[in-house]
Amino acid sequence: MFHRIFSRTHFPMAQTTKSNLVFPGTVLNNKQLFFVLLLTCFMMNQAFSQPYQHDEMQDLGAFAEEHDLPIQSWEVTMKEEMEMEQAEQLIQNLKAQHTVQKENNDNGVKYTFKDSHKKGSFDVLYNVILPLDQSNPAEVIIVLQGEDWDKQISQKYEKEKQAIQKNYLTKDSQVYTCLFVQGSDIINHDEILNIAIKYFNIKHISTKHDNLENSRIEKSTYGYTHSWEQFYFMEDDPKNVHMTTVADRHGEKSFVIGTPILIHEY
């Protein structure tokens, strides 16, 4: 469905050139020199700053809080391929801290570890998949998931995510984020979408209706926000926001807002 993932971390190339600043008819005094240095520092800071450091879950949590949206749950999935030896060592490290569940299938062996935080703030699931064909890389999937969001949970989440990225993953991992909002008679897809468009300044919007029989998905909208770093091209437009209306077997609706990912991952 999606292809060509991009990262927008821009680092302007600095060129070393010889230049002479000439101020006709005057000599720089201390105040003028200070002003030139201050201006130079400001321009360098602007050029080399990295503005795309938003955390998608933090943004979605703040969005839900500001608009009093009824949160059902939230989930952040981090995926990364890993060398077999490194993955096996990770399994041993996790075994020393958590209870393991082992599952075998035709493609490999899946190890699952669960870490429940105190007071039930959120859970962390560690999944390490070792393929039977050892010419293929192993895969690590780490999922943070919870059912509420506030300032305290936000702080715990940020601390936990940083620890995971430091201890288990690298900067090359892919991160997928989603927030589940409870549907009601007064909340519909278009209403939440319009609120999100204004809040995140979403562009390149496209909407698709799912007409497949027995599909849980009723409506999907894709778009692009400049706030989030990773994005995909879909039909020649950048996309990194996905909002979907999902109905359960009883017809109860919920809205999933997050980064684009196949719906079965939700």
pLDDT averaged over consecutive 10-residue blocks of the chain (266 residues)? 39 37 48 50 38 79 95 95 94 92 93 77 94 94 95 94 90 89 85 94 90 77 93 89 88 89 43
CB atoms within 10 A of CB 232: 19
pLDDT of residue 235: 84
pLDDT of residue 41: 42
The pTM for the full model equals 0.75
H or E element that contains 85: helix 84-95
- Those residues whose C-beta lies under 8 Å from the C-beta of residue 43, and which sit 6 or more positions away, are none
pLDDT of residue 108: 94
pLDDT of residue 187: 83
DSSP 184: B
pLDDT of residue 197: 96
